Structure 1
Amino acid sequence: MVKGVLLDLSGVLYEGDRPVPGAAEAVAKLRAAGLPVRFLTNSTRAPRRKLLEKLRKMGFELEDDELFTPAKAACEKLEENGLTAHLLIHPDLAEDFAGYETAETPGAVVVGDAGTHFTYDALNAAYRTLADGARFYALAANRAFCDADGALSMDVGAFVAALEYASGTKAEVLGKPAKAFFHTALDEMGVAPEDAAMVGDDAESDVAGALRAGLGRAVLVKTGKYRDGDEAGTDPAPSHVAADLSAAVDWLLS
């Protein structure tokens, strides 16, 4: 029996600036059934504040601490290890790292989806910091995301791989599919992994990642970045494939 649910944001709750039809009602249905819900995203172009605003404007009800982002996980990691960071991120995300960025001998490099700010000079500056011995933290390592025009665009994963290759330093991924990212949300809910379910549109990071992290169920929805056949290319395979979040919630509650 499912006792708690983790939900991806982009592609599951909304696509671009439009909510997925029925998604807000589906979240409310989970809560009405007495299930705790937490929201996990690998989006790293917008600060946490903006994501919360966006969700609420679309009709989703949530508390601030119900949203888990890779930037928050990174700041906790930096704090835990007493580190400041060289940031290769989108400028809009900078507010989430207030107090952790430094230009003087940073102990870590943090890479997120910088978009058009992934210039050679920016990548080379990160490479040089890694070559000097800094730790390497990737907010995510996704291959692609569903862009505002509905087509797939390159995500941060290719840039993380380039820096790994050049520096010889393996990045520690802090967002999905990192086991700790899922478990932090589950611990906060007080739900054991085997009693939890994840719903996402990314067969690799959301679904297979959740199942590898020990979650009992993971549902792939056919919205957002989903493309025909995605469910056949991952191991472990999704527990279920649903048309959208509404259908996923109906399956989970059944």
Structure 2
Amino acid sequence: MRAILFDIDGVLLQNGSAIDGAAATLSWVQRHAIPFRLLTNTTSRNRASICAGLNRHGLQVSETDIITPPVAARQWLQQQQCDRVELLVPEGIRGEFAVSDASPAVDAIVVGDLGAGFTFERLNSAFRLLMDNPQAALVALGMTRYFVGSDGLQLDVGPFIKALEYASGRQAQVMGKPAAAFFRLALDELGVSADQTLMIGDDWLGDVLGAQACGIHGCLVRTGKYRKGDELADADGLAAQYVLDSVADLPALWARLQ
């Protein structure tokens, strides 16, 4: 095993604070010169803001250590030569895209986590754009089902993308976890193969099974959005290869895997 991929929320941070032992584990990774990336489906903040938040809690990383769906989406839009783009994303990440809104004629519609901004009017506007522009791509900044907010579980972008897919008959191009292309972007940056890499996440489906489907080793932590029973096999017999109480236990697992 050579490299590690970390989810952020629920693995390193929870409710705005560092999880016990997370800073020490990240420091251990850096001292041992283990290549790593932080993979997050967060689309409400840009990388600079995410990085600053981690640093405030003793998790010393740089912006280049973080891979977000907007970064992957920007690359994809450039490759596909999509110049006319409608952005349904939080204001804080609009600067990650070198495009401006182009309604009503669009090449792509990019949808991120708008939280309470997912009103009927906004969803219906996106639906109409898809129907009026049959060639336009629906680009999803992740397919996470829910996350843990300060007041409990909250819907993430995935359910709203599913609504647009169902209504329009269009399949979304997914830029965050569990899309294989998102994991491959991290592997390419680190210069490692899937079978040399371990993914640590609190989401058994998006983080762990998504990574394992790409050949990456998956480890579920019992923090964040973890719920009792998540470590059990699903209807297809798939389950996390490794389970830890928290990321603080990673060094011991890493030693066993060498």
TM over 0.5: yes
Counterpart in the other structure of 2:241: 239
What is the 5 A alignment of 1:75-86?
75-83=74-82, 84-86=84-86
User: Secondary structure of 1:232's partner?
Assistant: coil
After TM superposition, the score normalised by the length of structure 1 is: 0.94
Instruction: Report the Cα distance in structure 2 between the residues aligned to 1:250 and 1:102, rounded to whole angstroms.
Output: 51
Which residue number in structure 2 is paired with residue 27 of structure 1?
A: 26
- Amino acid of the structure 2 residue aligned with 1:105: A
* Structure 1, gaps ≥5 residues long: none
Q: Which moved more, 1:82-91 or 1:46-55?
A: 82-91
Letter in 2 for 1:236: L
Distance 1:102 1:148 in 2: 35
% same residue: 37
The 5-angstrom pairing of residues 64-143 of structure 1 reads 64-83=63-82, 84-131=84-131, 132-133=133-134, 134-143=136-145
1:35 counterpart SS class: coil
Deviation at 1:104, TM superposition (A): 4.7
Q: Deviations over 1:102-128 (max 9, x none)?
A: 335120011111101101111111111
Q: Distance in 1 between matches of 2:57 and 2:10?
A: 14
Distance, in Å, in 2 between the alignment partners of 1:227 and 1:24 is 23
- Which secondary structure state, in structure 2, belongs to the residue aligned with residue 230 of structure 1? coil
Give, in whole Å, the separation in 1 of the partners of 2:250 and 2:62.
22
Residue aligned with 2:231, SS: helix
The AA in structure 1 aligned to 2:112 is G
Question: Aligned partner of 1:86: which letter?
Answer: E
Offset of residue 45 of structure 1: 1.2
Distance 1:167 1:99 in 2: 24
- Report the secondary structure of 2:154's partner residue: strand
**C-alpha displacement of 1:99:** 2.6
Q: 1:75, 1:100 within 8 Å by CA — same for their partners in 2?
A: no
- How do 1:7-86 residues align onto structure 2 when only pairs under 5 Å count? 7-83=6-82, 84-86=84-86
- Aligned residues: CA RMSD: 1.4
Separation in structure 2 between the aligned mates of residue 155 and residue 111 of structure 1, nearest angstrom: 11
CA distance in 1, matches of 2:167, 2:19: 40
